[in-house]
Structure 1
Amino acid sequence: MKFNFLTKQKNTIVNHENATAFPLTPEYELYASVVTTSLSASFYEKDTARLDRIKTLIQKCNPVFVAKLAVYARNEMNMRSVPLVLVVELAKIYSGDALISKMIVHVIQRADEITELLAYYQMANDRKGTKKLNRLSKQIQKGLAVSFNKFDEYQFAKYNRDGSVKLKDALFLVHPKAKDEAQQELFNKIVADTLQTPYTWETELSQLGQVKFYNVAEKQKAFTNKWEELIDSNKIGYMALMRNLRNIMEANVSGFHIEKVCHYLTNENAVMKSKQLPFRFLAAYRELKELPSKYTSMVLDALETAVMVSAKNIKGFDVNTSVVVACDVSGSMQQPISPKSKILLYDIGLMLGMLMQSQCKNVVSGMFGDKWKIINMPKRSVLSNVNEYYKREGEVGYSTNGHLVLEDLIKRNERVDKVMLFTDVQMWNSNSTNHTFANSWNRYKTIAPNAKLYLFDLAGYGYAPIDKQKNDVYLIAGWSDKVFDVLHALEDKSSALNYINRIEL
């Protein structure tokens, strides 16, 4: 985003490192907060602080923008929970036309999101007792009724879980209108709990897990056969396959079946349809890296190929455009994105940084903490590059001295077109000098007046380290490779908010 959306305030504010910072408009702060949250604790925020901040910001923002942001977060950033929060919280304060119902139809992409939305509605409105979902918002009711028409029996059965709100509860509550007799029969099955149990790899393995085996060898052979059967069935989804690569390899399936798995992992159509966040490939890569299997290298190569396929639509820069890619590996970036995840914020930064590096022909890359260090890597080894950076992060220390990236360019009198930092934007100076991030950029612009600065905000804490409306500074937020679509939209001097506002409801 161009920083012409920043508020003008005379009072000095500071970031979480007590360094001078600049506030964002409510719309921009909401955008950055939403696309960088798993609704769990961050390094600087408690469990409920992010959710509370999002709820407060919704009340300050244009309702149409909030609706479009929810659609963007769900359909382009592939987020699931936070778009439902935006729906419910906006419905609390906005009524009168069809905005909420249209928003819901665009946001609901899986059958279980119908019940998850109602579960959050119940919680957010502190509903208890037998009529906990009574007096449901009319627009939420209308949107969910239309959403019921999106799914078939397999999709309903797959997500017909025994949660606080069941599909049957939702059906009775929103009264969807069947589009034909076949769908009415499907609704009747939901009511009668007679949906046909879907064939899934989970049910197959679960049933096998209940069998008593004579010995360990017999059990091993049974699971080998079952995984080979599941692979041959072609019914394991892309994400499920990635998450189970270790299980598959430890089941000692045949080389033929490993090749089949690798073929699917690298299939361009399968990769693009899967809409995987980049760090999912990294998680799978790390899970297998030390596995003592004769097929480990083959699968690691397949994951590298899959990442390059996923990056195919990223518009990089040609040899005539010079780029600096700088990844923040400071202490605050070493924070899991959720309590159960092994993925850290700086993993996401490194992954996005290496994806960008892989698509640029005239590029220097490196990492910063106490120091800034250039570490150039091959272009076709995104995952192994991230792993190499991961092993070397201690070489630069753990502060957030992003200004050193700029000071290095100034010292070398190096003119570049684009400077990209992947960071939590909590910039400060730990080196006892007078340099600030904003000051360093202003000085660099006297050397390279056409240079542009892109800050990729991976944490969404609500501040920026610089406030220069006419100095080619942009801020983009998110964990998906879709952030690069926003990057290229900014080439026309637009903003991240304008990119979101292009969405039609």
Structure 2
Amino acid sequence: MSKFNLSGLRRTGTSAVRTADHATGRTHEGARGHARDAKGELFLLAVTSFVAEDTFYEAAAERDERLRALAATVALEDVDWTLRLVRWLRTGAHLRTVALVVAAEAVKARLEAGIAGDNRALVEAALDRADEPGEMLAYWASRHGRAFPKPVKRGVATAAERLYTERSLLKYDARGRDYRFADVLELTHARPRDARQSALFRHALDRRHDRADAVPDELAVLAARERLLAVPVAERRATLVGDPDGLRRAGMTWEQVAGWLQGPLDAAAWEALVPSMGYMALLRNLRNFDQAGVADDVAATVAAKLADAGEVARSRQLPLRFLSAYRAAPSLRWAWPLEQALQASLANVPELPGRTLVLVDRSGSMFSRLSGRSTVTRADAAAVFGAALAVRSARADLVEFGTDSRTVAARRGESVLALAGRMGNLGGTNTAAAVRRHFRRHDRVVIVTDEQAWAGWRGQDPTWAVPATVPVYTFNLAGYRYGHGPSGSANRHTFGGLSDQGFAAIPLLEAGRDADWPF
């Protein structure tokens, strides 16, 4: 019987996350599970992980150990791929801690194996904010001791030379850190790139060892800060309102201004601060703006910046940040700009032709928080991604599923934030039943899930009811070891992560091209 010379077969290329075509284990709910190769498992785990955080099925210690072991294994097999992964995790997916851990463990494995080359580059690739050189040293010391190998020190030094500025010193050189700027400089012997940074390095060392005197003339931002600190407390609010740009020149964040004023930020203070506030600072303070009663014209300025697609791209915010802000902001005046911002952050979610079945996992395991400091869950992520795909597609059936399943009415162009808010908690993970019930000769199926499905009918994988000619795209949001079905070819593909980037592979695959890693 012919397997390939068939009419009507929708041919897709191969994709990056690959499994064997047969089950090799069990999901956490007992269904037949498919293990990925080491690169695929590391990728899915890394793009869904917040280090030192429990998930529904996996304790933090177990999950972190799996991450470390995979990073070590893959770094020995393919260092070029590992370096590209680390760089992309930090600057593409905007995941700080996991990029640092993967880089450190990759370097540790390579050094133990006696392999030189690329180790310094791995360390530097993970560091993109001025507090991260110290974070790398702190992580290495906690895991591998305080004898820092030369590649680690040189990678950290190069990052410090690139990242250390007056403003970053003021923001990140806190007394409560084990490795302050001066400690990094002394341990790694970083070399200043010019006379101004040389003065900055000397000042960081002096203040760390309590011998700082007057601020050097070359350091204008620090000098401006000193002048502001000299203003009597009773005169500071008038100074803020009269010269709001002075705080920008002094590198003052809104948190530092609140401390400088030694009192709450009222409407006048917020109105003076808004023009110099960064995107993330605005996003975090919508509730504060409302409670203080900032003027409508100032609120309009904030809204315009939030909705600007260029500002969204530069802010590097994950889509779920906008959902979190939407829930926290009490005023409806923020709803539309946050919807626009969310849509801009989902630029990689394609507009799919034909009929698409979108299945959103709303089982109990999806409702664990992404981190201890977050109110957002994997169920929220699934709802946002599923809703975005549905409202952009030509014709989509949006379904939420758990023990049972139900259709969620979605119109093209509808608000993703409002649509995601209408979904509930549906109990178990009966993926197979949802597929059987709702698949009606669709052109494709997209499942947004943690893949920890119940056993399907007669032990089949949950998508057995979808013909082999129809592509099934699983978007994984948890990174557990075993997935619910095969992946990599034959119209079955798995992507993953907490950003929109994986969805860009769908049009490529449906054009018959291969979809490689996103880096």
Instruction: Give the TM bin, normalised by the shorter chain.
Output: 0.7 to 0.9
Deviation at 1:262, TM superposition (A): 0.9
Secondary structure of 1:466 counterpart: coil
**In 2: Cα distance, 1:488 partner to 1:85 partner:** 32
Instruction: Find the aligned partners of 1:118 and 1:423 in 2 and give their Cα distance.
Output: 36
SS of the residue corresponding to residue 463 of structure 2 reads helix
**Residue 401 of structure 1 aligns to which amino acid in structure 2?**
N
Q: Report the RMSD for the aligned CA atoms in angstroms.
A: 2.3
* Match of residue 253 from structure 1: 294
1:245-281 Cα offsets, whole Å, 9 max, x none, are 1111111111122112111111222111112111110
User: Residue 182 of structure 2 is aligned with which of 158, 168, 171?
Assistant: 168
Alignment of 1:292-311 (within 5 A): 296-311=331-346
Shift of 1:181: 2.1
Partners of 2:443 and 2:88 lie apart in 1 by 29
1:419 aligned residue: 445
Residue matched to 2:243:
none
| Equivalent residue number for residue 156 of structure 1 | 169
8 A Cα contact 1:421 1:454, kept in partner: yes
Equivalent residues in 2 for 1:310-349, closer than 5 Å: 310-318=345-353, 321-349=354-382
Q: What letter corresponds to residue 322 of structure 1 in structure 2?
A: R
User: Quick check: 1:93 aligned with 2:93?
Assistant: no
Structure 2 length normalisation: TM-score?
0.83
Aligned residue in 2 for 1:147: 159
CA distance in 2, matches of 1:421, 1:48: 28
**Shift in Å at residue 65 of structure 1?**
2.6
Correspondences of 1:402-413 after superposition (within 5 Å): 402-409=431-438
How do 1:435-450 residues align onto structure 2 when only pairs under 5 Å count? 435-436=458-459, 438=461, 441-445=463-467, 449-450=468-469
CA deviation profile, 1:156-177 (whole Å, cap 9, x unmatched): 3321122011110111111122
1:76 alignment partner AA: G
For residue 324 of structure 1, report the CA deviation from its aligned partner: 1.3
After TM superposition, give the deviation of residue 437 of structure 1 in Å.
5.3
Distance 2:474 2:347 in 1: 22
Q: Secondary structure at the match of 1:499?
A: coil
Can you give the 5+ residue segments of structure 1 that lack an aligned partner in the other structure?
A: 212-218
* Residue number in structure 2 paired with 1:483: 502
Q: Which residue identity does 1:257 align to in structure 2? A: V
Structure 2 counterpart of 1:121: 140
* 2:295 counterpart letter in structure 1: S
Offset from partner CA, 1:469-499 (integer Å, 9 cap, x none): 6531111110111222344454466776x31
- Contact 1:14/1:21 (CA < 8 Å) preserved in 2? yes
Q: TM-score, normalised by structure 1?
A: 0.85
Distance in 2 (alpha carbons) for counterparts of 1:3 and 1:263: 39
Question: What's the counterpart of residue 517 of structure 2?
Answer: 499
1:468 to partner: Cα distance = 6.5
Alignment of 1:380 with 2:414, yes or no, is: yes
* Aligned counterpart, 2:229: none
1:26-425 map, 5 Å: 26-39=38-51, 40-61=53-74, 62=77, 63-95=79-111, 96-125=115-144, 127=145, 132=146, 134=147, 136-151=148-163, 152-162=165-175, 163-193=177-207, 196=222, 197=225, 198-208=251-261, 210-211=262-263, 223-231=266-274, 234-288=275-329, 291=330, 296-318=331-353, 321-378=354-411, 379-389=413-423, 393-394=424-425, 397-409=426-438, 414-425=440-451
Question: Which letter does structure 2 place at the counterpart of 1:92?
Answer: K
Equivalent in the alignment of 2:236: none
Q: Shift in Å at residue 425 of structure 1?
A: 0.2
Q: Is the 8 A contact 1:76 1:482 kept in 2?
A: no
> Any gaps of 5 or more consecutive residues in structure 2?
1-13, 208-214, 226-250
In 1, distance between residues paired with 2:292 and 2:488?
58
Letter in 1 for 2:258: L
CA contact (8 A) 1:67 1:100 kept: no
Counterpart-to-counterpart distance in 1, 2:259 and 2:418: 34
Alpha-carbon contact 1:403-1:436 (below 8 Å) kept: no
